[in-house]
Amino acid sequence: MKRFLLAAAAVLALAGPARAVTPDEQLQDPKLEARARALSQELRCLVCQNQSIDDSAAPLAHDLRVILRERLAAGDSDAQAKAYLVRRYGDFVLLRPPFQVDTWALWLGPLGVLLLGGVGVALYMRGRSRTPEALLSAADEAAAERLMRTGEGD
């Protein structure tokens, strides 16, 4: 069992991030290719949704990488190439979408859920903080006092 765990740990340690960029996609100019790789780390694979197009092997990610490289080779700046893809696919193509009116829920949603959870916990704790004496009627309180003095109920 120890050997299996050691082998599994070694395989995981040697496994690096998967790069899906194929040699036929790469640009001949190393500077342009470096720009394309940096930009593709900021763009979301629309199929995988939690991977950059640089890491995804999906056919659509391949198409996005090719489009991005074509735009850069045509002379677009990084911002222009990214803006082209955003115009075509929307802000969802960005791994870090901008903070604007239509993305407020995306950015502020987790904070809202956290605040609602905090209010829920506070209300729950407030309800639990009532002492049992406060919940007894006057007659029940008198009966409990009498039982404690006489020692009955043992």
Tokens coding 154:
């043992």
Distance CA 106, CA 99 (A): 9
Contact by Cβ (8 Å): 54, 21: yes
Taking only the tens place, the pLDDT of each residue in 79-101 is: 999 999 999 988 889 988 888 88
Q: Residue 105: its pLDDT value, please?
A: 82
Taking only the tens place, the pLDDT of each residue in 30-72 is: 888 889 889 999 999 988 878 899 888 889 999 999 999 999 9
**CA-to-CA dists, residue 116 to 56, 101, 105, 129, 134, angstroms:** 36, 22, 14, 20, 28
